[in-house]
Structure 1
Amino acid sequence: MYEPQSNMESLERCVKSLEKNEKNVRDEARKALLNICNNVLKSPNNDEARELRLNDEVVVKKLLPAIGAFECLFDVGYVEDGDRIFLPGNASLSRLQSLSKLLSTVSESKSPTKDTQQISTEQKDFFSRISKYFHDVLHYENPVLRRKARSVIPIKRLEIATMIKMRELQKLYKVNSAINATSSTQFDSELIAKDLLLVEFLHWFKYEFFKWVDRPNCSKCSTECVLESVVPSTNRHCSRIELYRCEKCNIIVEFPRYWHPEPLLTLRRGRCGEWANVFTLMCCSLGYDARFIASETDHIWTEIWSTSNKKWIHLDPCENVIDKPLMYEKGWKKKLTYIIAYSKDEVQDVTWRYTQDQEAVMKRRKTCTEQSLMQYLRLLTEQRQNSPSYTHARREYVIKRSLLELVDMVYIPHLQNKNSDETYEGRTSGSLAWRVARGEIIQANIEKSYIWDVSKYGQMFELRYNIVKDIYHVVQNDGKILEQKSEWQEGVNTTDGGIFRKVENDWKMVYLARSPQTQHGYIKWTFKIANSELYLETCSLKAKSEIFHGASVSWKIEAIFSDDKMIVIPISNCNSFYTEQVRNAVKLDIIATLSGGQGELAWQHAQLFRQSLENIEETSMIINIQLKNRT
């Protein structure tokens, strides 16, 4: 809380700081401050005149964007109380009169000559958003709100899961047991455990705690509603209310959009803004240095400072993704412009962590000059760090941390394509139609060209795929895992029709489907016998699938022999298929084709490997290939 000083010099300094703003921002702030002073002086006993809500239009559009505006109010005696600031009844009005006189004098002394620093409405709105976000993140520091957030997190359960992962890591590093015995390594292990806890926490948040809402369902018949209109809200924690109409019942369903995280801890639903808001609060409640990340290309997420890695880590709670900052540019195909990070300490432009094409991004950044943005962010940060409650030790720590961050984001042209081999998928949160409309999902075909060498495991090869875990295992007869490969596309040779993994969190189901507007989709797995001492004897298949409304999931095997002869073997029943027709083949292609269905959702009517998310250990597909020695 800001404690006002009692001398005229400090008030003059606050008024003078308004000059740091560009003309439009400065003039609007002066007018707003004068109106506030006059309203109180005219009606000193009116409590409403003494109060300012932080989501009021005059605050958001005129005071928050202006450097020095709030300092003027705090200096005359205003105090902060949650979502408002107010002038206590026992505060002296003399300083308010002095502020009014100073503002009037400065305004009258300005000549009416043309100012070359006129700024656009777009820049003004942009700076207003920056100021509001920077103020709103202070809610995460509220100890009462932190306790409330922490109370709904199953911390013990997450810690146990983290300990299990830590033991697995320690087994991997058993060879280095002598080094691991040192106190330094023990300390590092504690830091790594803190990072691993985030993995468990993020998964819990997405799949158990928060729910994505594109459009709410009808409270009467549960049908998804259509947007009717958007109206302002009288609730000070809510920015607006979206009104949806049920086309069956013709009733209106309200979907309030809360900017304050407290009600969301109970409601547990929303879109990316609500997700990141609550998730960032919870990270803070768990003791992490966390910050709220807002992209001007309409997405919001979180970053935490990793002490073990000495860098900010990207976390997207909507996607259950950690440390994949290029996901938006490379996976979602976003045309990035400005990405701003907000914490209790500072506000930073972090766009360069999220792009490998700085030149293209720079061409799109036309809202303001780079210099004006840099100056504005620096002024906001200095204002926060120069407040009386901000300690010198914290400032020194943040400065060192910021230097590490700047080094991490340095643009090096010849390293622009680093991590180019890493795969990035399109967006998974929200309905598919919504994601396609926003251009945030990849519908391209996958050509991994992966070929499984079945002969390197001996006379029996068994491949198991689990769609819930999205993982392949090559196993022995006794179930021992010989090889593991994560993500379904990493084990395929080719796909067509934009095949993607669809997760239905509401129905708790997961499956592979083709993209909308495609008539067919197929996946091909390829197997070869590289060892000339072995030959192929038999092949069997067990796989799950579901079809609706006349759709089809069909399977076939293409067996290729050493003389280039090929035979096609239809699979009539994928639940239990066995054949000896593949004998002596040197290569097998196993192909699943998805087709048919009705209407706009035809793509969804053929579902490969459909399975409940709760059946974690259940196998979705088993391919068994028996080999024999050549004699």
Structure 2
Amino acid sequence: MYKPQLNMESLERCVKSLEENENNVRDEAQKALLNICRNVLRSPNDDKTREVRLDDEVVVEKLLPAIGAMECLFDVGYVEDGERLFLPGNVSLSRLQSLSKLLSAVSESKPVTKDIEENSTAQKAFFKKISKDFHNVMHYEDPDLQKKARSVIPIAQLEIAAMTKMRHLQKSYKFSDARKTTSSTQFETELTAKDLLLVELLHWFKHEFFEWVNSPKCSRCSTECVYESVVPSTNHRCSRIELHRCEKCNIIVEFPRYSHPEPLLTLRRGRCGEWANVFTLLCRSLGYDARFIYDETDHVWTEIWSASSKKWIHLDPCENVIDKPLMYEKGWKKKLTYVIAYSKDEVQDVTWRYTQDQEAIMKRRKICTEESLIQFLRSLTDQRQNSSNYSSARKNYVIMRSLLELADMLYIPNLQNKNSNEIYEGRTSGSLAWRLARGEIVQADIEKNYIWDVSKYGKMFELRYNIVKDIYHVVHNDGTILEQKSGWQEGTNITNGGIFRKVENDWKMVYLTRSPQAQYGCIKWIFEIANSELYLETFKLRTKSEVFHGARVSWKIEAIFSDDKVIVIPVSNCNNFYTEDVRKAVKLNIIVTLSGGQGQTAWQHAQVFRQSLENIEEASMIINIQLKNH
């Protein structure tokens, strides 16, 4: 999470960065920020004025598109709290008053700041943080801690999985055309068992070992709590303690944010900082040359030196992604500034591995001059490598490795342009609304292209979907389950508008809804009769939906016949719908559309399959199709 800085220079820098935007984007952001400031200062004791929803159109349309706008809010003390920004009651309003004055001065066309000098307070704070992070990375070199880390890894299990995959790849290679141009020795060099072990380690860490926490669960009722405030920690291994309140029990649950990896080996939970911290330790404990990567725009991950490829490999444990350095810029739409790598050997600016747009990044790098940054990083590295316990052989090796890295980054932009058709997805960790609001994922039309063949089960087809379990069942008339498919999307043909499954732990409800920013959402299921000896006789639908504040959920059937004739049948009552108008159709498209609603949460006002989490066995949708012989 972005940490607010305590100096005026940083606030002035944030306001000045607004000038990097197009005039209309800048002006809208300045007006929105000024309104937020004035609302709080006008009614400082009203919690509603201190809250800004991340899905609010002010954030989505005016603040997120503007460089520096969100940074202004963070700098005056706003913190992220699930799906909102909130100014805690214990935060002084002095910085908010300063921001208001700076923005007012801008609107009156008065100069509000000066260029940041090389020895500015902002630069000193930036360099101090780099120095501290470079010191902290030495935690990974503690032999006792590495031993403890190895004890939690199922090494034998991962090695077996890696060797099995290696043999499978070798077998596939043996019978492929690649063997004609590549020697077996070259194949072994390019892909080693150690590389495959890393793949298995990453998958295990993501899916079995570590847990993402947006907000901790209540210790009494297990309901997910809501962020309230943050307090300092007296434990030197813990950077701060977040306080979250259970809205049901009204108790406070502490969420310590540990910066030291040892407690996290037992707790096994956190956000990206904790994830990358522990994963980097595990990699070091297995003998990988690993380093901790810190992105100043709010993310962290790991890099591994691949001896076979002679390059640093990007790994993101939160996403289970390997070697996709452009993921943040192209997939998450991040506007990167400084990406710094920390290892036991050196500290490096590796920003250029993670961008295709060096010119844009250079415009955003305002904290210090490039020369002063290079000089500072070089001095820290020299200090580490010239220490008494650092061997000359290791120093020579690291120097050669650094030369290879520099050469690699020189040519990266050209290589990346050649791969510009590669797909980069948005962020998967964290709540969906939070990721959408941050602009780190995009609304996408998802095509599963699945078609249900209703004729392969005989003359009666019954499909049941349970949203609580998120499972489809094809059921025989005696109740026997003929087929099961997990995940609501897996049974669909196509969805629009970023439809997602939302769980409300506070209300104990679950439903499908469209994504924030989407004007409408749509889901289509397709059912066909592949057996030419059968034809469709009747169709029955039983399902449920809820609407609020003028929202709409509408169902319809598109019946397609062998002569390409199509008739559209509106579903008047989805709770109990029956029709014979589909008789002799060969394909049915079942389409539900979500639209309407009011205000900043309009996307949430049209809900499909809304159901209590306690109704575990109740079917959320039942489709019954009767067939007959020709």
TM-score past 0.5 threshold: yes
For residues 543 and 153 of structure 1, the distance between their equivalents in structure 2, rounded to whole angstroms, comes to: 49
SS at match of 1:240: strand
For residues 345 and 582 of structure 1, the distance between their equivalents in structure 2, rounded to whole angstroms, comes to: 73
Q: Point out where structure 1 has 5 or more consecutive residues left out of the alignment.
A: 1-115, 455-466, 471-486, 613-619, 627-631
Alignment correspondent of 1:224: 224
Query: Given the superposition, is the C-alpha separation of residues 246 and 495 from structure 1 closer, same or farther in structure 2, using an over 3 Å criterion?
Result: closer
Per-residue CA deviation, residues 315-364 of structure 1 (Å, 9 max, x unaligned), is 11112222222221122211111111111111111111111111111111
Alignment correspondent of 1:370: 370
Alignment correspondent of 2:144: 144
CA drift of 1:196 comes to 2.2
**Contact 1:352–1:411 (8 Å) recurs in 2:** no
Query: Given the superposition, is the C-alpha separation of residues 558 and 605 from structure 1 closer, same or farther in structure 2, using an over 3 Å criterion?
Result: closer
Alignment correspondent of 2:276: 276
For residues 381 and 258 of structure 1, the distance between their equivalents in structure 2, rounded to whole angstroms, comes to: 26
Superposed counterparts of 1:109-128, under 5 Å = 119-128=119-128
Q: How many residues align?
A: 485
Per-residue CA deviation, residues 164-201 of structure 1 (Å, 9 max, x unaligned), is 32233233223159969977258438x43322222222
Alignment correspondent of 1:53: none
Q: Which amino acid aligns with 2:256?
A: P
Alignment correspondent of 1:234: 234
Q: Which amino acid aligns with 1:223?
A: T
CA drift of 1:592 comes to 5.3
SS at match of 1:410: helix
Alignment correspondent of 1:309: 309
CA drift of 1:394 comes to 1.9
For residues 385 and 592 of structure 2, the distance between their equivalents in structure 1, rounded to whole angstroms, comes to: 60
SS at match of 2:216: coil
Alignment correspondent of 2:189: 188
Superposed counterparts of 1:60-459, under 5 Å = 119-175=119-175, 184=185, 187-188=188-189, 191-410=191-410, 417-442=417-442, 444-446=443-445
CA drift of 1:405 comes to 1.9
CA drift of 1:527 comes to 11
CA drift of 1:540 comes to 12
CA drift of 1:526 comes to 8.4
Alignment correspondent of 1:25: none
**Contact 2:346–2:384 (8 Å) recurs in 1:** yes
Query: Given the superposition, is the C-alpha separation of residues 392 and 557 from structure 1 closer, same or farther in structure 2, using an over 3 Å criterion?
Result: farther
For residues 397 and 237 of structure 1, the distance between their equivalents in structure 2, rounded to whole angstroms, comes to: 32
SS at match of 1:173: helix
Query: Given the superposition, is the C-alpha separation of residues 280 and 186 from structure 1 closer, same or farther in structure 2, using an over 3 Å criterion?
Result: same
CA drift of 1:537 comes to 7.5
For residues 503 and 246 of structure 2, the distance between their equivalents in structure 1, rounded to whole angstroms, comes to: 25
SS at match of 2:192: helix
Per-residue CA deviation, residues 38-78 of structure 1 (Å, 9 max, x unaligned), is xxxxxxxxxxxxxxxxxxxxxxxxxxxxxxxxxxxxxxxxx
CA drift of 1:398 comes to 1.9
Alignment correspondent of 1:36: none
CA drift of 1:391 comes to 2.0
Structure number, greater radius of gyration = 1
CA drift of 1:555 comes to 6.9
For residues 200 and 503 of structure 1, the distance between their equivalents in structure 2, rounded to whole angstroms, comes to: 30
For residues 503 and 214 of structure 1, the distance between their equivalents in structure 2, rounded to whole angstroms, comes to: 13
CA drift of 1:396 comes to 2.4
Query: Given the superposition, is the C-alpha separation of residues 252 and 305 from structure 1 closer, same or farther in structure 2, using an over 3 Å criterion?
Result: same
For residues 210 and 514 of structure 1, the distance between their equivalents in structure 2, rounded to whole angstroms, comes to: 29
**Contact 1:179–1:185 (8 Å) recurs in 2:** no
For residues 193 and 545 of structure 1, the distance between their equivalents in structure 2, rounded to whole angstroms, comes to: 51
**Contact 2:540–2:579 (8 Å) recurs in 1:** no
Query: Given the superposition, is the C-alpha separation of residues 510 and 279 from structure 1 closer, same or farther in structure 2, using an over 3 Å criterion?
Result: farther
SS at match of 1:257: strand
Superposed counterparts of 1:453-602, under 5 Å = 495-500=495-500, 514-516=514-516, 518=518, 520-524=520-524, 558=558, 565-568=565-568, 591=591, 593=593
CA drift of 1:137 comes to 0.9
Per-residue CA deviation, residues 221-254 of structure 1 (Å, 9 max, x unaligned), is 3333333332222212112222233344333322
CA drift of 1:288 comes to 1.3
Query: Given the superposition, is the C-alpha separation of residues 215 and 391 from structure 1 closer, same or farther in structure 2, using an over 3 Å criterion?
Result: same
SS at match of 2:568: strand
Percent identity between matched residues is: 68
Per-residue CA deviation, residues 291-315 of structure 1 (Å, 9 max, x unaligned), is 1010000111111122333222211
Per-residue CA deviation, residues 415-457 of structure 1 (Å, 9 max, x unaligned), is 6644332222222212233323433232x34287x97999xxx
Query: Given the superposition, is the C-alpha separation of residues 197 and 416 from structure 1 closer, same or farther in structure 2, using an over 3 Å criterion?
Result: closer
Higher relative contact order at CA 8 Å, sep ≥6: structure 1 or structure 2?
2
Query: Given the superposition, is the C-alpha separation of residues 451 and 233 from structure 1 closer, same or farther in structure 2, using an over 3 Å criterion?
Result: closer
Q: Which amino acid aligns with 1:429?
A: S
**Contact 1:501–1:512 (8 Å) recurs in 2:** yes
SS at match of 2:175: helix
Query: Given the superposition, is the C-alpha separation of residues 118 and 362 from structure 1 closer, same or farther in structure 2, using an over 3 Å criterion?
Result: closer
Alignment correspondent of 1:48: none
CA drift of 1:517 comes to 6.0
Query: Given the superposition, is the C-alpha separation of residues 243 and 358 from structure 1 closer, same or farther in structure 2, using an over 3 Å criterion?
Result: same
For residues 540 and 304 of structure 1, the distance between their equivalents in structure 2, rounded to whole angstroms, comes to: 59
For residues 411 and 335 of structure 1, the distance between their equivalents in structure 2, rounded to whole angstroms, comes to: 21
Per-residue CA deviation, residues 8-36 of structure 1 (Å, 9 max, x unaligned), is xxxxxxxxxxxxxxxxxxxxxxxxxxxxx
For residues 301 and 163 of structure 1, the distance between their equivalents in structure 2, rounded to whole angstroms, comes to: 26
**Contact 1:345–1:384 (8 Å) recurs in 2:** yes
**Contact 1:427–1:440 (8 Å) recurs in 2:** yes
